[in-house]
Chain A
Amino acid sequence: MRYQKFLAPLVFGLGVVTAGVATAQTLTIGVRGGPESMDPHFSALGSHAEAAKHIFDTLVWSGDDLQIEPGLAVSWTSVDEDTWEFKLREGVKFHDGSDFDAEDVKFSIERIPVVTGPTTTAIYVRRVESVDIIDPYTLHINTDGQAATLPNDFIRLFIVSSDAAADYSTLETSAEGFNSGVATIGTGPYKYTSWEPKGDLVLDRNSDYWRGEGAWETVIRREIPNDSSRLAALKAGQVDLINYVSSVDYLALERDANIDAVKGDSVYIMNLQLDQREDTPLVRAIDGSDLAENPFRDLRVRQAVDHAIDRQTMVDIVLEGLGRPANQMMPAGFFGSSENIPMPEYSPTKARELLADAGYPDGFEVDLYCTADRLPGDGAICQGLGQMLTQVGIKTNVNAISKTVYFPAQARLEYSMFLNGWGTLTGEASYTLGGLAHSNDPEVNLGAYNRIEYENDDVDMLLQTGATMMDEAERRATYEEAMEKVMADKAYISVVQLQTVWGAKAGMFEFNPRLDEDTLAFFIRPAP
């Protein structure tokens, strides 16, 4: 029996929002990227989800360190090998006053594959076969086979109102309905007021939010993609807080009394990837002639590359201190990160010895590729690697290029050595190792991002069994073992974990940096 209470529809004032002047009740955030649509199911891009989190809630919440916590679902248990039972939070209301229940969840899940754009959100529900409503606050999610990580998939499963979005759930109508605000009804901390693509997203406080009331009456998220302009807007007082301060500006901010710089670990780790194919395109002998075989297939050469990298210098000099040396493809403490992996030793002597043992006393020549415009410092890290490798005899030609060119070429397997940033956004290893370390096998849906043809049968076995284990401790041990094996093979060499910086008006705010780099107004509090 559903019981609905209708409140008077809310009337928004249509006054022009004054720009710039921050009152105690308005928070203006300068963000590098904004949403691509007001439909939360349209894009899987981080900046899109970040904006959506203000208006909509997710079933499962991912906390500051990406640990999973109850969101709109209060608990989840696996009923049998291909069914999960989700219990929903009771008494939650949408912005239009209607009640949230299982109907809305089912509607949201089924809507996703229909309305998603090219940066597809279908990934969040890719394991879902069907949804059964048991009662208004209980759902059974039937999966295709065992899906141990289903709750992790749901951290970006935004719940929209099945009533408000009913007529706006086809590809043609969704943008219109959500961008105009008619369908933009969520349960989140803020209500939608207005949005200009690539411009301002204006939000109003939701006083009935189930987590409690937010600190700000109005939140304006202003999109300012250019790093220098964003910082200038903060310094000129037009915005209160900005994300993604560049490492160069960070040093200057340290000395600026009017601006606080808040540093936080990022989920992104830069990995050097060495092609394992027998015939690799961009490796040559020093004199330019062809080599008999791909040197990266020899473990000693890969170890030499590893020993040639001075991670501490990379962090201190290249990244201006904004990073940490990395020994594996995920930050410490993630599900599947191993504590048994040592930090690789920097030793040019060892590197040269290993190269000589492998039959390359004079070294060889390789082209290194990376992005120059994707993550903070990616191009600079690349340059640093080029110099370090050249010092031990591997003559490295650095190509730091636009991601628009890099990614398609990487997908076509055109590179022999490339530096790639990877963020474990789900906080667990099946995402990272399943994508990168399993041999590329569309049959089992693993290894889609293994662009170096890395293949280790033990690792493949571990990843396949790990994916079906429902016991958490066993699964964790399995993934840790897989991670240890992958890192020992040195085809993937983790170099640094990045850090990100927020800038804010001095002494005004309190907030914890999130690992996924999201800037969420609800969790930003005025300083006491």
Chain B
Amino acid sequence: MLGFIIQRFLQAVGVMAVMSVIVFCGVYAIGNPIDIVIPPEATQEIREEVIRRLGLDLPLYKQYFIFMGNLLQGDLGRSFIYNVPVLELIGGRMPATLELVLISVISATVLGVSLGIYAGYRPDSWISKTIMAVSVLGFSVPSFWVGLILILFFAVKLGWLPAGGRGDTLEIWGVAWSFPTLNGLSHIVLPALNLALFKLAMMIRLARAGTREIMLTDTIKFARAAGLSEGTILRRHLLKLISIPIITVFGLELGSTLAFAVVTETIFSWPGVGKLIIDSIAVLDRPVMVAYLILVAFLFVTINFVIDLVFALIDPRVRAGAVQ
């Protein structure tokens, strides 16, 4: 087990190093922020002063080494646009994204797996057919459109729920959260629903496919022969056997939703990191883009690392394979 962990850890470090180079070069290749941010009246001297101040006059490799040097000291640089440390900027907006994403991904998974197992367990009932039909919709309707329709219907027409923003927040350990207040919770409902739809559909289909496969195996036959109740079979045996692909997808979905909840955050004016990154790309705020992408890479590497460990815990074959 320890060998397995060390091996995975070294891989993760390698991936991060390569990612930092790719991200840095990529972001620095896509245009010059100076042309976008400098106002028309700026004289040549003023321009040069700005370029020098942002360190854009140095060759690329020098800029990279300065960046990496700072990064290893835990300093991701200062935003061009806001003149505050990037970590502070991203950190200040992380809680908003975190609560939205966790609520939507977890509820989508719990609901999706339950519905999927039912649809797999009774594939011919009309309820299952309805579930599957709805899941196709969840897959195929673009989320920006659903978001706008949700706003139109629940906020503008019915006036039940707010159209956007975060609402009241409560400070817990110095961080503002929306979910503990009723008003904040009402603000979360629509964006979380919008974000959850696609994942819900995916979880339903995954769970259903897994269930249908497992229900036909000898494991289930023997369990029934042993006189276990159907409930116990589903909970203890089936759930464990279909969980591997579900955990993989859950981890990846959690990561990608955290990183790219952009569309939903924009439509619902949810002040999270997704909106921040889109705005930063629009004005080529390089430090924010680089820092964000590095953090996202780190997030994915970490999630994959954790998933691998969870597999090893669930499935003894993985552990054994790693040791050999």
Chain A residues with CB under 8 Å of chain B are 16, 18-20, 36-37, 39, 42-44, 113, 117-120, 122-123, 126, 171, 174-176, 179, 196-199, 222-226, 228-230, 232-233, 235-238, 373, 402-405, 407-408, 410-411, 422, 431, 435, 442, 445, 448-449
Contact = CB atoms under 8 A, between A and B. Distances in A.
Contacts of B183: 18-19
Nearest to B268: A229
26 contacts: A16-B169, A18-B168, A19-B168, A19-B183, A36-B82, A37-B84, A39-B83, A118-B50, A120-B39, A120-B42, A122-B49, A126-B46, A175-B83, A176-B84, A179-B84, A197-B82, A198-B279, A237-B159, A238-B165, A403-B36, A404-B30, A404-B283, A407-B36, A435-B41, A445-B44, A449-B40
A238 B39 CA distance: 34
Contacts of B283: 404
A19 B167 contact: yes
Interface string B154-197: 01100100111111110000000000000100000000000000
A404 to B, nearest CB: 6
Contact of A197 (B80, B92, B165): B92
Given A198-B279, A228-B151, 6 more contacts: A18-B168, A118-B38, A120-B50, A199-B166, A229-B151, A233-B165
B39 A229 contact: no
Interface stretch (B3-11, B66-74, B125-133, B269-277): B269-277
A117 B44 contact: no
A405 B31 contact: yes
Contacts of A16: 168-169
B266 interface: yes
B42 A448 contact: yes
Given A118-B80, A174-B83, A233-B164, A445 B43 contact: yes
Contacts of B209: none
A232 B40 contact: no
Nearest to A233: B163
A444 B283 CA distance: 29
5 closest cross-chain pairs (CB), A and B: A123-B41, A236-B163, A236-B155, A408-B35, A232-B163
A402 to B, nearest CB: 8
Contacts of B267: 226, 228-229
B58 interface: no
A192 B163 CA distance: 26
Contacts of B36: 403-404, 407-408
B138 to A, nearest CB: 22
A211 B284 CA distance: 40
B152 A198 contact: no
Interface size class of B (residues with CB under 8 A): 35 or more
Given A236-B156, A408-B31, A119 B266 contact: no
B49 to A, nearest CB: 7
Contacts of A405: 31
Nearest to B80: A118
A370 to B, nearest CB: 15
B16 interface: no
Contacts of A113: 49
Contacts of A36: 81-83
B33 interface: yes
A230 B156 CA distance: 12
B322 interface: no
A410 to B, nearest CB: 8
Nearest to B36: A407
Nearest to A436: B40
B281 interface: yes
B152 A232 contact: yes
A18, A118, A225, A435 pick with most chain B CB within 10 angstroms: A118
A224 B156 contact: no
Contacts of A226: 266-267, 269
B234 interface: no
B165 A198 contact: no
A464 B217 CA distance: 89
B119 to A, nearest CB: 35
B155 A232 contact: yes
Given A404-B282, A408-B31, A232 B151 contact: yes
Given A126-B41, A196-B271, A233-B269, A222 B82 contact: no
B271 A198 contact: yes
Contacts of B38: 118-120
Nearest to A430: B41
Given A42-B83, A196-B271, A225-B266, A118 B163 contact: no
A431 B83 CA distance: 28
Contacts of A402: 282
A18 to B, nearest CB: 7
B164 A224 contact: yes
Given A36-B82, A118-B50, A175-B83, A448 B168 contact: no
Nearest to A449: B40
A378 to B, nearest CB: 15
Contacts of B83: 36-37, 39, 42, 117, 171, 174-175
Nearest to A199: B271
A272 to B, nearest CB: 18
Contacts of B163: 229, 232-233, 235-236, 238
A118 B32 CA distance: 12
Nearest to B165: A19
B44 A122 contact: no
B89 interface: yes
Contacts of B30: 404
